Amino acid sequence: MRTFEFECDDRYEAEKLASLISGQKDSKVWLAGISAVVGNEIVIQLKDKSSHAVVMMNSKEVDRLNLLLRNVLNGIENIHSSDFEASTVKIVLD
């Protein structure tokens, strides 16, 4: 298992991101796509068709997160779990 850390703008954004990409009981995530990337903000679409913007610390963090989430969407990576502490999100991959 590998762990990646991402810096969000604040604790609220970190909590939101961790919950949006958390694994479900069947080891699936509700992630359906990335709707947009603008500056230091990424818009995540879920399988229920809702979209949620997450503000990251900077555009570098957005680029890293975008790459990881696209790998998940393409079946290259699998999210095992996600958690947050302060403004940092930790994503564990299988």
**pLDDT computed for residue 24 by the predictor:** 64
Contact (Cβ atoms closer than 8 angstroms) between residue 16 and residue 54: yes
**pLDDT computed for residue 27 by the predictor:** 57
**pLDDT computed for residue 10 by the predictor:** 98
Task: Count the Cβ atoms, other than its own, within 10 Å of residue 49.
Answer: 7
Distance of CA 80 to the CA centre of its chain: 12
The structure's pTM equals 0.93
Could you say which residues of the chain have pLDDT below 50? none
Q: What percent of the chain has pLDDT over 70?
A: 95
Domain count, the chain: 1
**pLDDT computed for residue 22 by the predictor:** 87
**pLDDT computed for residue 28 by the predictor:** 72
Write out the residue range of the structural domain in which residue 19 sits: 2-93
Q: b vs e for 32-42, b when ≥16 Cβ sit within 10 Å of the residue's Cβ?
A: eebeeeeebeb
Distance spanning both ends of the chain, measured CA to CA: 5
